[in-house]
Amino acid sequence: MATITTAPPAEAQRNINGQASSSPGLHVTSLHELITESPNDASQGFDTKSALEIARIINHDDAKVAAAVKKALPEIALVIDSVARSLRDGGRLIYIGAGSSGRIAALDSCECPPYFSNAPQQIQYIMAGGPKALASPVEVNEDSEELGQRDIARRRPTRKDVVLGLSASGRTPYVVAAVAYARARGAKTACITCNPNTPLANAADIAIIAEVGPEVISGSTRMKAATAQKMITNMITTGAMTRLGYVYENLMVNVHMQNSKLVERGINILMRACNIDRETAVRTIKSAGRSVPVALVMLKANVDKPEAVRRLAQSDGNVRRAIEDSVMDL
């Protein structure tokens, strides 16, 4: 478990504007020390290349991302289980980030409800600069520790919650201060960064570090670093929802059927899971109140709707346990 380092008052750290840091130990690493800011030998003379050469160089570099993420799988697994336990116990996953990292956090948060039917408040995001920063850059906010603490404080994090900070550099004052604040109030904390030995890693309980190396365009962490963050956030929420039983086999059975595409997906999932024809699937989904999990339990356990609903309630929505009518702790 990482610890938050502190510095004596006489050695107060300073933020990138030269002002004294309001949070001891949350120092800012120089940009030139970061791997993500280093020059990339593979893209030397990049501005002289043809369109095909540019695409090849980027594609070759992107191939390194999965290998970097693979090295962080043990830490990712710890976060998956932490998030699953938190959501099961009525807590929340709260992402916090700035710039590209904040946008990745927002994307993952917003994509979960239609795929897993979770309540939107269960997986939240905080973006430096607020929602307007999703479309219009207001990156100056990421320099403020005070704003980071204020924004996370408004969500009132508790020991039931997981607060996960994203920062490719691992030194963003807004994110570091927010994670440190949440941890001090008992929340489980984690981070995703692409540089080792950073203030953010020190501020979090669990540090996921994907060392993707220098970017094709030096410092453009919207590229490999953001790709790694997207892959990892996908793993965390998909893994947590699967651990909670909202996936059956490898089927997205908790799909929220709000439009024609998702209705069709729900029908196909039931057909595949139960090896039935389309007519039976449609009829069962209708009788189940347009709920794929209820329909699946009805068919797999050979029970009526009230019993399927009872089983799902008793198993906290875990479809497999509802089918087997068993109880198992995470």
Average pLDDT (233-238) is 97
- Maximum Cα interatomic distance, the chain, rounded to a whole number of Å: 75
What percent of the chain is predicted at pLDDT more than 90? 68
Query: Looking at per-residue confidence, does 43 or 263 come out higher?
Result: 263
The whole-number pLDDT of residue 78 equals: 98
Written out in words, the top-level CATH class of the domain with range 9-243 is alpha beta
The whole-number pLDDT of residue 38 equals: 67
Average pLDDT (232-243) is 97
142 is catalytic: yes
Residues 187-207: tens digit of each pLDDT: 999 999 999 999 999 999 999
Distance of CA 324 to the CA centre of its chain: 30
Among 36, 39, 14, residue whose Cα is nearest residue 24: 14
> Could you give the residue range(s) of every CATH 1.10.8.1080 domain in the chain?
260-324
307 is catalytic: no
Average pLDDT (263-271) is 91
> Could you give the residue range(s) of every CATH 3.40.50.10490 domain in the chain?
9-243
Residues 132-163: tens digit of each pLDDT: 888 876 666 788 899 999 999 999 999 999 99
Q: Please identify which of the residues 75, 142, 211, 215 carries the catalytic annotation.
A: 142
Q: Phi and psi at residue 225, in whole multiples of 5°? A: -60, -45
Q: Please identify which of the residues 111, 139, 307, 324 carries the catalytic annotation.
A: 111
pLDDT of 29 > 90? The answer is no
Written out in words, the top-level CATH class of the domain with range 260-324 is mainly alpha
The whole-number pLDDT of residue 1 equals: 38
Least confident segment among 78-87, 106-115, 252-261? 252-261
Q: In sequence order, what are the residues at sequence separation of 6 or more whose Cβ sits closer than 8 angstroms to the Cβ of residue 215?
A: 36, 40, 61, 221, 223, 224, 225
Query: Looking at per-residue confidence, does 254 or 72 come out higher?
Result: 72
Q: Is 28 exposed, middle or buried (0-12, 13-18, 19+ CB in 10 A)?
A: buried
Least confident segment among 53-62, 258-267, 276-285, 298-307? 258-267
What is the CB-side half-sphere exposure of residue 134 using CA atoms within 13 A?
Answer: 13
Query: What mean pLDDT value characterizes the chain?
Result: 86
